[in-house]
Structure 1
């Protein structure tokens, strides 16, 4: 494990574009990305459970959605990225780096809202991988994932991505008038090389084939 005495504070992220195999991440720009995001996150094909565990939404009208996007775009923590499908050019989701604490080398991936078009595809996993890669390249010692303890889908995703469960903060928040117990997960800098190698094997052309994946992400992270 990294020793703090040999470590220097991390660098804060600047939201430069990041190119992946399936997606591109760009700093959220409501003027360029807003129409697509409204369609995919609130349109008739949107995931009906998308907003269940988020502290905002759903949005019944475009003006309030645009105000939400504008606030996100102006924020530096959370720092929001749009997820752009490279094949179509459509913006299909957003996510952020947040809880950014360079002095302690701590950063979190959160505020994830992916369209149905990203689900059951490599795109969402690649978005998480690209932000994780950036977080550690900036010098962070710890990458965090937190979610409502009742959010089984988010907890499964964290474990699939290689995050380690650390425990539950009971009565941690009140969200939309309801208690939230928060499940905490992390990847540390000494764990990241193995996690990253698994992502890279899983995202490769050898594994992501026209007919679907050859091996699961967990199998790629723990090759026999």
Structure 2
């Protein structure tokens, strides 16, 4: 029988909340890392971690070419802070293990309480009407990659998106050749959805894009795994005792 009713489960038509630089919600405190909205004043301390010839490899899968001098990096940070495409966060660490040697040598005063800038991550593709948002344009110091701090940064953003801003789908997209990014997405609990072939042209090269997501129905399970893994007792001298994959398997086996 024909019906005039649209198909699909009904959902809220109240838009999700757009992140705001003036909101206290967008300063995120974790045990290993703090996130707050990126500011132009972060540029000088960020530069040794993210730019210059020694960090050129960090830019391989980003739209921009490597940034090799402070003036160009200043322009880049100023563009990010316009917030026309991205809502950028700076990662702040108080752990000297996350500071590059050049920065460590230049620190002549005590580490400020909020920490030292060591990386950038962003919220993007923000569509409040459809409750969708993306974590992307991630740029971490090599010393921060594959650390508890980088995992906690993504966890804090997921928690912000689902619990405070009321989004129902958080996306993660990457060049399908960027295997470390795809592995990070799966490790965090994102589900692979497929690859958009010939999706983009980046730096004159074809980009096929792998899509991942966490949806609101999955969030509590993802949250439980990440919270359990991030517990202080899971680390000794900065090293994990139990991998996230093992925490996930153990919780699933116990029906938690």
Q: What is the TM-score normalised by the length of structure 2?
A: 0.81
Q: How does 1:107-122 map to 2 (within 5 A)?
A: 107-122=133-148
- Which residue number in structure 2 is paired with residue 37 of structure 1? 46
- Offset, 1:44: 6.4
- Which residue number in structure 1 is paired with residue 37 of structure 2? 27
CA contact (8 A) 1:144 1:187 kept: yes
- Which residue number in structure 1 is paired with residue 156 of structure 2? 130
- Which residue number in structure 1 is paired with residue 100 of structure 2? none
Tell which structure's C-alpha radius of gyration is larger.
2
Which of 48, 72, 88 is the equivalent residue of 1:64?
72
CA contact (8 A) 2:52 2:67 kept: no
Partners of 2:12 and 2:80 in 1: how far apart? 35
Question: Aligned to 2:57, what secondary structure does the other structure show?
Answer: coil
Which of 14, 17, 33 is the equivalent residue of 1:11?
17
- Which residue number in structure 1 is paired with residue 180 of structure 2? 153
- Offset, 1:45: 5.5
Structure 1 residue 198 corresponds to structure 2 residue 240 = no
Give the gaps of 5 or more residues in structure 2: 1-7, 97-114
Question: Aligned to 1:54, what secondary structure does the other structure show?
Answer: coil
- Offset, 1:123: 0.8
Structure 1 residue 74 corresponds to structure 2 residue 82 = yes
Q: How does 1:206-217 map to 2 (within 5 A)?
A: 206-210=233-237, 212-217=239-244
- Which residue number in structure 2 is paired with residue 50 of structure 1? 58
Number of aligned positions between the proteins:
221
Question: Aligned to 2:161, what secondary structure does the other structure show?
Answer: helix
CA contact (8 A) 2:173 2:211 kept: yes
- Offset, 1:4: 3.4
Deviations 1:53-77 (A, max 9, x none): 0001311222111111001011154
Question: Aligned to 1:95, what secondary structure does the other structure show?
Answer: strand
CA contact (8 A) 1:149 1:181 kept: yes
Give the gaps of 5 or more residues in structure 1: none
- Offset, 1:108: 0.3
Partners of 2:162 and 2:84 in 1: how far apart? 18
Partners of 1:140 and 1:72 in 2: how far apart? 23
Question: Aligned to 1:128, what secondary structure does the other structure show?
Answer: helix
- Offset, 1:49: 2.4
Moved more, 138-147 or 52-61: 52-61
Q: How does 1:143-182 map to 2 (within 5 A)?
A: 143-182=170-209
